[in-house]
Amino acid sequence: MTVTEYQVDGMTCGHCEKSVQEEVGSIGGVQDVQAEAKSGRMIVTSEEPVAPSEVAAAVEDAGYKLVSAGMPSGATGGGCCGGSCGCS
């Protein structure tokens, strides 16, 4: 199982989160998507690593923009919060 953290630009409310979660969640092999409008973070859980280009396309389909990709979240311990407080 792979957990990857992304940064998405343009989400402003719960509806945005839901749109992103639905689009990215429809990618084959993706098991769970957690999107947070406030921080712009998106956590994708999948069976196999998903190509960043596929994630970017899904985010764009939803009407938003993928800013950064491919940060493993918690895979090797990492920081306390996945980097959002600057710990990593």
Residues lying near Cu ion in the complex (CB under 5 A): 12-13, 15-16
Residue whose tokens read 């989400």: 11
Task: Rank residues 10 and 83 by Cβ distance to Cu ion and give the closer one.
Answer: 10
CB atoms within 10 A of CB 83: 15
CB atoms within 10 A of CB 9: 11
Task: Rank residues 38 and 51 by Cβ distance to Cu ion and give the closer one.
Answer: 38
Q: For residue 8, give both structure tokens.
A: 């998405």
Task: Rank residues 50 and 66 by Cβ distance to Cu ion and give the closer one.
Answer: 66
* Min CB(16)–Cu ion separation in Å: 3
